[in-house]
Amino acid sequence: MATVALDPRLDSKTSQFISGKHRMLIDGKFVAAASGKTLPVYNPSTGEVMADVPEAEAGDVDRAVRAARRAFDEGPWSQFAANRITASQRGRLLNKLADLMETHLEELAELESMDNGKPLSVARVADVPLAIDLFRYMAGWATKITGNTFPISFPGDFLSYTLREPIGVVGQIIPWNFPLLMAAWKLGPALAAGNTVVLKLAEQTPLSGLRLAELIQEAGFPEGVVNILTGYGEGAGAPLASHDLVDKVAFTGSTEVGKLIVKAATGNLKKVTLELGGKSPAIVFPDADLDKAIAGTASAIFFNHGQCCCAGSRLMVHERVYDQVVEGVSKIADSIRVGSGLDPETQMGPLVSEEQYNRVTGYIDSGLQEGAKATAGGRQKADKGYFVHPTVLTRTTPEMKVVREEIFGPVVCAQPFSDADIDRIAREANDSIYGLAASVWTQNISIANKMARRIRSGTVWINCHNVFDAALPFGGYKQSGWGREMGAEVLNNYTEVKAVTTAL
């Protein structure tokens, strides 16, 4: 493995973990890829390789899927095993995992910051606590997944009820923007509902997930119930999505790859849920509390460096307050301290990878070439690392690439609207292939709620943006996805419903 000096600010345990030998979790054991191949993990603040992790391929995926299959069909996780793990015990295992994560919160936050680039201060208060909270919330659901009884009208005397049963073996594929939190969103509900899992981490950010795998072992999940793989999308993600012994695949990532997942799933018609891209509008009405709207819409796009599927990347502002809002958001953009995630002064770290750096700066160039103007940021080359300054583009028009496509970086396109006709404003807000989220900024509760009903997206925030809770369903309309993450809703995506009727 390429060894580079890790940042001296890191706790020694974190450094040791990063530079240690990494293994995947398959069938309750930590193993290398069968081929012995590894893939490099980069530090986005420096562009240097800081770790190597196994590069899983189809054979490794098959091993993991078969282990999950055995665990579901035969092991103590099976509903019918003599020594079966009860719903209450499943909940306790999830709570134990959450407790262990809490004990290691600082280490997990450091790993997240090193791997993804995000400020440690953010990982510490957002990513890790939200992931812990999600496991606790889902632990509570383990004993509350129930069916119904039905007064049926078929002639005769019958008792009819439904059972909610786990789907079986679930393949899960996650991205790099919130590595630990995305793992929690996926594992929590699947395990609470009694499924077994093969989770593939993002190749850019495998470290916190591998540490989570150790904590899962420590918590005492039976072998094969959770399998965690590292590998590339085509090499490991694709064979997982197409595997015949997988009953369901849950994917979070780009809309482009989401479509490939759907195709890959057709072989055995496995169930599919997708949480995909977005191009979320943040809509500011002239009566909004402008200080809050400016700070809120800036954070809507710049939080996590714009690497959020629900980032408020289209800033729509009424023309009466447009200049003031754009100036305010641009000032905030200019004031954001960009630097290494471990630096306590840093408010925005680097983008996750060279690929993302090239993609985001390419979009900025494309916007400027098409006639947009940068009132903050724009292309600025750093000596090393994948740093992009928060950027505000004005004079954008609805047909520009920067307005239509997901950039997934700290770049917002500002556009004025002139109308008080909320149907027309909603049409403009809905003019996107995506429908993940939106925010509406106004003090008029009637306008706010009328807009909330007209916007075609899975989340609408009023006078806020990026507010998440384990209890709230999250997911997309249109090409932003299928199904929902979190809340009670997600459990529908991890259970089958069986109707049982008895002639009495």
Please identify every residue annotated as catalytic.
Answer: 275, 309
200 counts as binding ligand ADP under rule CB under 6 A: yes
Among 19, 162, 254, 449, binds ligand ADP (CB under 6 A): 254
Task: Pick between residue 63 and residue 90 the one whose CB is nearest to ligand ADP.
Answer: 63
- Using rule CB under 6 A, residue 253 touches ligand ADP: yes
* Contact stretch for ligand ADP (CB under 6 A) within 123-131, 216-224, 226-234, 492-500: 226-234
Quick check: 329 and 300 in contact, CB under 8 A?
no
Least spacing, CB of residue 476 vs ligand ADP, in Å: 14
Residues with Cβ within 8 Å of residue 134, at least 6 apart in sequence: 181, 184, 185, 188, 470, 486
Asked if 349 and 367 touch (Cβ cutoff 8 Å), the reply is: no
Interface with ligand ADP, residue 257, by CB under 6 A: yes
If binding is defined by CB under 6 A, does position 238 make contact with ligand ADP? yes
241 binds ligand ADP (CB under 6 A): yes
Residue closer to ligand ADP (CB basis): 7 or 55: 55
Please give the structure tokens belonging to residue 500.
């049982």
Of 345, 325, 340, 334, nearest to 302 by C-alpha is: 334
| Choices 68-76, 122-130, 232-240, 424-432; region in contact with ligand ADP by CB under 6 A | 232-240
Give the shortest CB-270-to-ligand ADP separation in angstroms: 13
Tell me, residue by residue from 332 to 361, as one string, x for binding to ligand ADP by CB under 6 A and - for no binding.
------------------------------
Of 167 and 407, CB closest to ligand ADP = 407
Which among 196-204, 311-319, 335-343, 443-451 is the span making contact with ligand ADP, rule CB under 6 A? 196-204
Stretch that binds ligand ADP, among 5-13, 167-175, 291-299, 441-449 (CB under 6 A): 167-175
Do 171 and 65 contact (CB within 8 A), yes or no? yes
Does residue 436 touch ligand ADP according to CB under 6 A? no
Q: Which residues of 208-244 are buried (b: 16+ CB within 10 A; e: fewer)?
A: bbbbbbbbbbebebbbbbbbbbbbebebbbbbbbbbe
Among the listed residues 27, 187, 215, 16, the one whose alpha carbon sits nearest the alpha carbon of residue 104: 215
Q: CA angle at residue 416 from 415 to 422, to 5 degrees?
A: 110
Q: From the CB of 310, what's the least distance to ligand ADP, in Å?
A: 14
Q: Give the span between the Cα atoms of 142 and 87, in whole angstroms.
A: 5
Using alpha carbons, select from 409, 406, 404 the residue that is nearest to residue 392. 409
Is 234 a binding residue for ligand ADP by CB under 6 A? The answer is yes
As measured in angstroms, the least distance from the Cβ of 231 to ligand ADP is: 7
Q: Which is nearer to ligand ADP, 74 or 234 (CB)?
A: 234
Token pair for residue 385? 């690392």
Residues 491, 125: Cα–Cα separation, whole Å: 26
Binder of ligand ADP out of 119, 224, 233, 378 (CB under 6 A): 233
28: exposed, middle or buried (C-beta count within 10 Å: 0-12, 13-18, 19+)? middle
- For residue 477, give the H/E element and its range: strand 477-478
Contact call for residue 323 and ligand ADP (CB under 6 A): no
Out of 71, 108, 145, 173, point to the residue binding ligand ADP (CB under 6 A).
173
- CA 255 vs. chain centroid, Å, equals 13
Give me the 122-161 binding string for ligand ADP, x by CB under 6 A, dash otherwise: ----------------------------------------
Other residues' Cβ atoms within 10 Å of the Cβ of residue 341: 26
Residue with tokens 């077994």: 196
E strand segments, 91-157: 149-150
Q: Choose the stretch contacting ligand ADP; rule: CB under 6 A; options: 54-62, 96-104, 234-242, 334-342.
A: 234-242
Task: Yes or no: say if 187 and 85 are a contact pair by the CB < 8 Å rule.
Answer: no
134 vs 202, beta carbon nearer ligand ADP: 202
Nearer to ligand ADP, 257 or 325 (CB): 257
Residue 166 CB contacts under 8 Å (≥ 6 apart), including other chains: 72, 79, 193, 194, 195, 494, 495, 496
Cα angle: 250, vertex 276, 53; to 5 degrees: 60
237 binds ligand ADP (CB under 6 A): yes
Extended beta strands in 276-320, E state: 281-284, 314-318
Q: Provide the minimum distance between the beta carbon of 391 and ligand ADP in the complex, in angstroms, as a whole number.
A: 19
Pick between residue 242 and residue 439 the one whose CB is nearest to ligand ADP. Answer: 242
Among 7, 133, 203, 247, binds ligand ADP (CB under 6 A): 203
Q: Which residues of 467-488 are buried (b: 16+ CB within 10 A; e: fewer)?
A: ebebeebbbbbbbbbbbbbbbe
Instruction: Using CB under 6 A, count the residues that bind ligand ADP.
Output: 17
Residues that bind ligand ADP (CB under 6 A): 173-175, 200, 202-203, 232-234, 237-238, 241, 253-254, 257, 260-261
